[in-house]
């Protein structure tokens, strides 16, 4: 089985209903070692068959299937088992589903697929959390849910870059930190409220970065991805 270091540093979010566009981009990005994140928009339009087609490309990509399962334990276990059968590199569930749900998901996940939890969505800040009845600051909630995730035996978390340093200092070294909300210097922040540049996130201890629009909306997505990788190495 591949180790964490064998997996791509960057997963590009190709959350589009257009499967031909996704197939074209997945080949171009996989050629330079960038993984592919497929989310709800793609999955709802194309289903498991669409994921299988992406994985059957001549350059087989590493896929993070970002469906954020959150339901009763038995339902989530069945969903994880079905999704993991596609042989993706990563799947995720919502940590707020609780211990029993995460334990059931982990038992159902195949060994070759790594299971992450979502702590706090990067579109949410302290004010947004307060509106849904979570009075604690976002970073406190992230730490609480990350500890629970590790206790349940999952492989890591999806978190904001601003919690990465504390998480890396607290969790085990093998605990994966998948970080969305990454924006290269000068990029539009969009709907993300807790963001960081790629190099800042890696320096803070991120294992993988999720980057979407700065790559997908570039004139040459492959070149944009190359530039981001170069900026991290500089």
pLDDT in tens, the chain (234 residues): 455 557 899 999 998 999 999 999 999 999 999 999 999 999 999 999 999 999 999 889 999 999 999 999 999 999 999 999 999 999 999 999 999 999 999 999 999 999 999 987 666 666 766 666 666 777 788 899 999 999 999 999 998 888 899 999 999 989 999 998 787 765 555 544 456 889 989 999 999 999 999 999 999 999 999 999 999 987
Predicted local confidence at residue 169, as pLDDT:
94
Predicted local confidence at residue 234, as pLDDT:
77
Predicted local confidence at residue 162, as pLDDT:
81
Predicted local confidence at residue 1, as pLDDT:
43
- Enter the pTM of the model: 0.90
207 burial (CB, 10 Å; 0-12 / 13-18 / 19+) is buried
d(CA 195, CA 180): 8
Predicted local confidence at residue 191, as pLDDT:
47
Per-residue CA distances from 183 to 179, 198, 200 (Å): 11, 7, 10
Task: Give the DSSP H or E segment for 1.
Answer: none
Task: Give the DSSP H or E segment for 156.
Answer: strand 156-158
Tokens of 48: 């498991």
The top-level CATH class assigned to 4-233 is alpha beta
Which residues are designated catalytic? 68
Predicted local confidence at residue 184, as pLDDT:
79
d(CA 106, CA 92): 10
- The domain spans of the chain are 4-233
Predicted local confidence at residue 190, as pLDDT:
53
């Amino acid at each position: 089985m591949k180790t964490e270091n064998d997996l791509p540093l960057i997963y590009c979010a190709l959350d589009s209903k257009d499967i031909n566009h996704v197939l074209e981009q997945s080949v171009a990005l996989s050629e330079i070692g960038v993984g592919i994140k497929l989310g709800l928009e793609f999955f709802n339009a194309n289903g498991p068959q669409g994921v299988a087609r992406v994985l059957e490309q001549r350059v087989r990509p590493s896929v993070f299937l970002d469906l954020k399962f959150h339901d009763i334990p038995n339902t989530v276990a069945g969903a994880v088992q079905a999704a993991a059968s596609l042989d993706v590199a990563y799947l995720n569930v919502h940590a707020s589903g609780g211990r029993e749900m995460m334990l059931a998901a982990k038992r159902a996940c195949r060994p070759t697929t790594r299971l992450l939890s979502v702590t706090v969505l990067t579109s949410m800040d302290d004010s947004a959390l307060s509106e849904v009845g979570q009075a604690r600051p976002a970073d406190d909630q992230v730490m609480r849910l990350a500890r629970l995730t590790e206790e349940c035996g999952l492989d890591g978390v999806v978190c904001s870059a601003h919690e990465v340093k504390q998480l890396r200092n607290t969790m085990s070294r093998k605990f994966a930190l998948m970080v969305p909300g990454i924006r290269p210097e000068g990029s539009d922040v969009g709907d993300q409220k807790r963001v960081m540049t790629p190099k800042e996130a890696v320096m803070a201890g991120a294992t993988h970065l999720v980057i979407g629009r700065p790559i997908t909306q570039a004139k040459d997505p492959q070149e944009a991805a190359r530039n981001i990788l170069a900026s991290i190495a500089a």
